[in-house]
Structure 1
């Protein structure tokens, strides 16, 4: 098994490592990655789905049935659907967002890419994403897999997390620094 750094130390990391190993061995990394991306987007867009995976009031059996139905509606691959059933049975659906993040890191490492998390105030278009990838590639010297998130609270600009480095060009941070400087 390949070295996966500190990812295996967390619960989400252990589940992500297990899913990664299964997907890699079955030559299904692309299919599982696409399904997880679809699921992640659905979690962002659907408050009901978000409640389903985070509510402690939904029992294992009901959660399993509901998540299987959701997986069918979203057109997720069989491996991901089965994995979600395991998460529901183990009452671990609430960790799905962290599992997706850790899985994406493992896939990026497997492909020789560096992972970057990019937070923007508004969704980025394809041209902006391509320009960001090019700029990040020139910084790190390898291909960069980006995990895009939207957080209107940053007001504008970007926050880029690249490994242990964070580049915070958000307007919120600049305004906070200005307010602090004005206090003297």
Structure 2
């Protein structure tokens, strides 16, 4: 069992707050936020990269080489590259996804935005995403930062999370509700 099992949400928030403060002090907040999003997208889109991060047998040297190569190819700022390598040295890179998501939430909160997650069964156009974002902004009376994800497992419909509010109009959810009613009957 790993000794990192005690790593909590508050620990991730401390690392993300440190990254936020360093980025803000150096006038790099926008750049670091974009670079964080690109790392999160890489984690989300590449199963190999995801498994590499979670694999405890990967040496710190190998992981550092890979991260430095990714940083070089994506022209990451030195501050962000050093932060990623710091996490590797402190054996915290396993939690990079949690740390970067927390960092992006801090950035959104400082701009007065609410973060929303949208999942749809069909691929949405940028116009459709913009309309949904505008509608959410109107309904919640706040700027909305929308994270969109195409999820074919929903079969049809949408799932929207804004803070603690969730709207699930997916066919998958409706089928689950029908199944639950059948089990109860």
What range describes the TM-score normalised by the shorter chain of this pair?
Answer: 0.7 to 0.9
Matched with 2:140 is 140
TM-score, structure 1 as length reference: 0.86
Cα distance in 1 for partners of 2:75, 2:171 equals 38
Cα distance in 2 for partners of 1:90, 1:29 equals 23
CA 1:77/1:168 → structure 2, altered by over 3 Å: closer, same or farther?
same
Compute the displacement of 1:123 (Å): 4.0
Runs of 4+ in 1 over 4 A off after TM superposition: none
Compute the displacement of 1:136 (Å): 0.7
Matched with 2:93 is 93
Are residue 48 (structure 1) and residue 48 (structure 2) matched?
yes
Matched with 1:104 is 104
Compute the displacement of 1:131 (Å): 0.9
Compute the displacement of 1:9 (Å): 4.8
Cα distance in 1 for partners of 2:159, 2:13 equals 23
CA 1:156/1:82 → structure 2, altered by over 3 Å: closer, same or farther?
farther
How many correspondences in the alignment? 177
TM-score, structure 2 as length reference: 0.86
CA 1:65/1:103 → structure 2, altered by over 3 Å: closer, same or farther?
same
Cα distance in 2 for partners of 1:11, 1:68 equals 24
Compute the displacement of 1:47 (Å): 2.4
Are residue 159 (structure 1) and residue 154 (structure 2) matched?
no
Give the conservation status (yes or no) of the 8 Å contact 1:120–1:150: yes
Give the conservation status (yes or no) of the 8 Å contact 1:39–1:74: no
CA 1:33/1:157 → structure 2, altered by over 3 Å: closer, same or farther?
same
- Runs of 5+ in structure 2 lacking a partner? 1-7
Cα distance in 2 for partners of 1:9, 1:55 equals 21
Which region of structure 1 is more displaced relative to structure 2, 120-129 or 61-70? Answer: 120-129
CA 1:106/1:177 → structure 2, altered by over 3 Å: closer, same or farther?
same
Aligned-pair Cα RMSD in Å: 1.9
Give the conservation status (yes or no) of the 8 Å contact 1:32–1:77: yes
Cα distance in 2 for partners of 1:28, 1:127 equals 29
Matched with 2:78 is 78
Q: What secondary structure, in the 3-state scheme, does the structure 2 residue paired with 1:149 have?
A: strand
Give the conservation status (yes or no) of the 8 Å contact 1:108–1:145: yes
Compute the displacement of 1:182 (Å): 4.5
